[in-house]
A and B are shown apart, each in its own frame.
Chain A
Amino acid sequence: DAKTTQPNSMESNEEEPVHLPCNHSTISGTDYIHWYRQLPSQGPEYVIHGLTSNVNNRMASLAIAEDRKSSTLILHRATLRDAAVYYCILRNRDDKIIFGKGTRLHILP
């Protein structure tokens, strides 16, 4: 499985944008980039995914580098409820969803 690298933790101020980076230098052409998050005491929650183009949804935006070796999850205006562990995951045809250690995001009021 192709690997992803994320910072262990990040901090951001409430009501400011947050950019969560992910490196995936060994990504293959058929790997989709997925982001999930896990709030305290809850199951993981799907955030967004994409293949090559940038993606937007009601929760976040996903910016994918042109060479696809890195991506950034953008939360446009962080709230205290966005404090969670964010996982960047590569998925391919074998259909597994393999979680790494993720980035623990702290939101400062």
Chain B
Amino acid sequence: DSGVTQTPKHLITATGQRVTLRCSPRSGDLSVYWYQQSLDQGLQFLIQYYNGEERAKGNILERFSAQQFPDLHSELNLSSLELGDSALYFCASSPRGGPNTEAFFGQGTRLTVV
């Protein structure tokens, strides 16, 4: 158990809908990362937050947004969902920012868009 909790574990929704994925980082971890993993794309970095502020942005679509709250949990909002958004979404946390630290991943949320 990495200590990172993602909810829900599974989500099935229809095209055009909006969903929110939640990530609770390990206690005290300031940095949160979001990833999308689909069969044909591998693990794609979406966005990173550090202590409530956006720190790095990857291949995140405009239909997607995220935030990190004062209690350090994070939410990833996906809107106007398309079939191609079906994927595993992972959240990771690390104690601090920077390259000299490890990240701990949750078990993911499996999103199916029908």
Binding site for B on A (CB under 8 A): 30-32, 34, 38, 42-46, 49, 51, 87, 91-101
Contacts and interface: CB of A to CB of B under 8 A. Distances in A.
Interface residues of B, number: 27
A101 to B, nearest CB: 6
A45 B107 CA distance: 10
Interface stretch (B12-20, B61-69, B76-84, B97-105): B97-105
B42 A97 contact: no
B2 to A, nearest CB: 7
B56 interface: yes
Contacts of A87: 43
A87 B37 CA distance: 14
Contacts of A30: 99
A95 B45 contact: no
Contacts of A46: 102-104
A97 B92 contact: yes
A100 B44 CA distance: 9
B2 A98 contact: no
A95 to B, nearest CB: 5
Given A43-B105, A44-B90, A99 B99 contact: no
B10 interface: no
A35 to B, nearest CB: 10
A49 B43 CA distance: 19
The CB with the most chain B CB atoms within 10 A, among A30, A95, A99, A101, is that of: A95
A98 B100 contact: no
Contacts of B31: 95
A28 B103 CA distance: 21
A30 B100 CA distance: 10
B8 interface: no
B58 interface: yes
A99 B100 contact: no
Nearest to A99: B43
Contacts of A99: 35, 42-45
A29 B86 CA distance: 38
A42 B107 contact: yes
Contact of A92 (B55, B99, B102, B103): B99
